[in-house]
């Protein structure tokens, strides 16, 4: 017999496009003759919640509980109930005649989010952009309902995560265990109803959950708890980004009350072995990169040498069974790059496995998904692209590499043009000097519309300490080469890197200001440095002059580390000013505002020339 396998993405991940993990695994397992079905429980649950019947039930439950946060939403509840189906249909299809209805002044209720933004809406969209304006108003409508659900009915509810607060920094399993004893919420009941519907359709031997983020962990555990109670013969596996990153020192056996197997790193090999084990073809000592529980102890089984399925030999992901028509496009923020993450349907595909650079000191370079770099051929990639388009009907591609290699991008662009395969694509890169005017023009011609890359901190001292392998001059020239070809550039920015001074933070902001001013970048986002246990900084804190102060590991998850930076600035003080300034630059304004005006306290004077970036561009 073949082990009948069900792969599930638990709530909530991206809502505009399928998270690709189950598609990769389905494509692989079917190539090995393992019968495989996939279920995106994330989009199925979201679709079920935002319906007339369910929203009606939400208001009834809030009234029963006497919960009355967001009174404006409650005041217009009839409108929210009657119009939620219209709004959801519009967000799926974005049909222009429906857009006229949605932007009509009195059609949708004006809740707390809409009222706050009403003044900005006419400024942002003017008379143009009917579809965008309608999409934004429709998004606010759904978000207002989401706020109401979260405040009155289910505190764990959030658009692209569920109960993230208890999945994050869960060094002990205690809180998760406690919360799993609570009664299920209205949202969870609906999730389990949908899961049960799937389980009634056929008999599964193995159900595997991909857990990419902390905000998927609790809902996956809730589902596993239900399966154990109602379908005790089915075996359950967990894997995915969260497990690969956070559960590498797992020793607490309590999670095995809910699951049978937890795998690490690429799922293909471990999952194939689990199906062979359940099929009595191999013994448990032949399992690879898999935790099980024996005699109430966590045991890690890893038969070596591991079976490695090289990136170039893997089949294309299979999107069959994912409901392409149910994904929704949201327009919640005006940041042009963030919009790409939540608006439009994108097929997700990796060009290479891992990172060809793998040196950045803040990155989890010790983990397989970064350290194990593997490549394939341009022909293989274009074959996969054509297969995916035939399954999904979607010609937009997001290449989800840690950093797409310039050599591969050149080969891919040439192959797409040669084979006349017309796609729209974007990806993450390093700002390598290889990206010159000629290469950027080729990429643009092949359908590239945007790139994202880590500038991190605009200080050459810190860039060297981070081992980024780039300097500010190079970043300026590379980003300009992309921008000149109408390829949008988004820069990841970081503040608070160990030993970063107040002077360096302010000078970084000045570099960012000049990059926007010279149209090198069109989008950016500031992140405060986070120290993780798998990065060079986390592994050698002394080398970076910081002190790790917790959390104490208690047998479950380990990733984010709390640290003190005795020689650096008080980093958290700068976040508000950095965000304010960036928000202005994103909207093409505020370039003349002195930087100190963005901060409510005294900051150092800029030490850089006001034409620093312009000079670099002349070189």
Strands 523-528 and 5-9: unpaired
In a domain, 325, yes or no: no
Same domain, 351 and 233: no
- What is the distance of C-alpha 117 from the center of its chain? 26
What are 131-169's pLDDT values in tens digits? 988 999 999 999 999 999 999 999 999 989 999 999 887
Give me Rg for the CA atoms of the chain: 25
pLDDT at 119: 63
Same domain, 335 and 269: no
Total domain count, the chain: 3
| CATH number for position 496 | 3.20.20.70
Contacts of 116 (CB under 8 A, 6+ apart): none
pLDDT at 366: 85
Taking the C-alpha atoms of residue 368 and residue 67, their distance in angstroms, rounded to an integer, is 47
Domain hosting 194: range is 5-45+163-309
DSSP state of 285: G
Nearest to 192 by CA among 85, 65, 44: 44
pLDDT at 31: 96
Domain boundary among 152, 171, 205: 152
Domain boundary among 152, 178, 207: 152
Planar angle of CA 462, 463, 469, nearest 5 degrees: 155
> Where does residue 430 fall: left (phi above 0), alpha (psi -120 to 50 degrees), or beta otherwise?
beta
Domain boundary among 152, 178, 210: 152
pLDDT at 390: 96
Q: What would the two tokens of residue 132 be?
A: 């965008």
Instruction: With beta carbons less than 8 A apart as the criterion, state whether 88 and 328 touch.
Output: yes
Taking the C-alpha atoms of residue 125 and residue 173, their distance in angstroms, rounded to an integer, is 48
In a domain, 422, yes or no: yes
Same domain, 342 and 478: yes
Residues of the chain with pLDDT under 70: 1, 119-128
pLDDT at 365: 87
Same domain, 560 and 417: yes
Same domain, 407 and 457: yes
Same domain, 368 and 502: yes
- What is the distance of C-alpha 224 from the center of its chain? 23
Same domain, 138 and 203: no
pLDDT at 126: 57
Same domain, 285 and 351: no
pLDDT at 240: 97
């Amino acid at each position: 017999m073949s082990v009948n396998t069900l792969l599930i993405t638990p709530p909530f991940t991206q809502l505009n496009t399928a998270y690709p993990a189950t598609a990769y695994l389905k494509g692989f397992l079917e190539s090995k003759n393992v019968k495989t079905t996939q279920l995106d429980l994330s989009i199925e649950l979201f679709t079920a919640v935002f319906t007339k019947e369910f929203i009606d039930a939400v208001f009834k439950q809030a009234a029963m509980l006497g919960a009355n946060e967001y009174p404006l939403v409650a005041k217009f509840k009839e409108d929210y109930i009657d119009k939620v189906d219209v709004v959801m249909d519009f967000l799926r299809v974005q049909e222009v005649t429906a857009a006229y209805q949605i932007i009509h002044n009195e059609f949708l209720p004006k809740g707390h989010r809409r009222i706050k933004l009403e003044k900005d809406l006419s400024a942002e969209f003017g008379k143009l952009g009917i579809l965008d304006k309608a999409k934004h108003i429709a998004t606010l409508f759904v978000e207002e309902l989401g706020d109401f659900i979260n405040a009155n009915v289910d505190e764990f509810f959030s658009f692209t995560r569920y109960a993230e607060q208890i999945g994050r920094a869960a060094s002990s399993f205690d809180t998760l265990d406690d919360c799993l004893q609570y009664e299920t919420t209205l949202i969870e009941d609906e999730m389990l109803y949908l899961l049960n519907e799937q389980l009634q359709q056929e008999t599964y031997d193995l159900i595997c959950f991909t857990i990419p983020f902390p905000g998927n962990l609790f809902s996956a555990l809730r589902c596993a708890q239900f399966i154990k109670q109602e379908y005790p013969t089915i075996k359950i596996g967990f894997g995915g980004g969260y497990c690969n990153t956070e559960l590498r020192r797992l020793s607490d056996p309590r999670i095995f009350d809910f699951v049978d197997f937890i795998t690490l790193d690429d799922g293909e090999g471990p999952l194939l072995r689990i199906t062979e084990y359940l099929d009595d073809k191999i013994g448990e000592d032949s399992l690879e990169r898999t935790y099980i529980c024996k005699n109430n102890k966590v045991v890690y089984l890893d038969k070596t040498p591991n079976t490695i399925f090289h990136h170039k030999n893997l089949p294309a992901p299979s999107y069959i069974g994912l409901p392409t028509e149910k994904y929704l496009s949201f327009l919640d923020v005006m940041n042009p790059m963030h919009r790409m993450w939540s608006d439009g349907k994108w097929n997700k595909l990796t060009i290479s496995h891992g990172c060809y650079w793998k040196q950045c000191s803040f990155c989890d370079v010790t983990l397989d998904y970064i350290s194990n770099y593997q490549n394939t051929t341009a022909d293989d990639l274009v074959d996969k692209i054509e297969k995916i388009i035939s399954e999904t009907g979607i010609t937009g591609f997001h290449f989800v590499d840690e950093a797409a290699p310039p050599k591969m991008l050149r080969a891919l662009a040439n192959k797409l043009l040669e084979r006349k395969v017309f796609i729209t694509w974007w990806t993450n890169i390093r700002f390598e000097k290889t990206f010159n005017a000629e290469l950027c023009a080729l990429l643009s011609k092949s359908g590239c519309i945007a790139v994202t890359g880590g500038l991190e901190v605009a200080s050459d001292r810190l860039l060297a300490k981070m081992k980024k392998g780039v300097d500010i001059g190079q970043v300026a020239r590379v980003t300009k080469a992309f921008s000149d070809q109408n390829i949008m550039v988004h820069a990841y920015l970081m503040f608070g890197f160990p030993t970063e001074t107040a002077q360096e933070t302010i000078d970084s902001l000045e570099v960012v200001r000049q990059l926007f001013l010279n149209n090198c970048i069109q989008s950016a986002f500031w992140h405060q440095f986070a120290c993780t246990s798998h990065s060079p900084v986390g592994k050698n804190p002394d080398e970076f002059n910081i002190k790790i102060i917790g959390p104490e590991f208690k047998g479950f998850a380990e990733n984010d580390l709390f640290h003190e930076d005795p020689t650096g600035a008080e980093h958290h003080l700068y976040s508000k000013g950095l965000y304010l300034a960036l928000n202005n630059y994103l909207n093409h304004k505020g370039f003349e505002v002195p930087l100190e005006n963005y901060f409510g306290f005294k900051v150092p004077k800029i030490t850089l020339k006001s034409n620093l970036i312009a000079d670099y561009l002349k070189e």
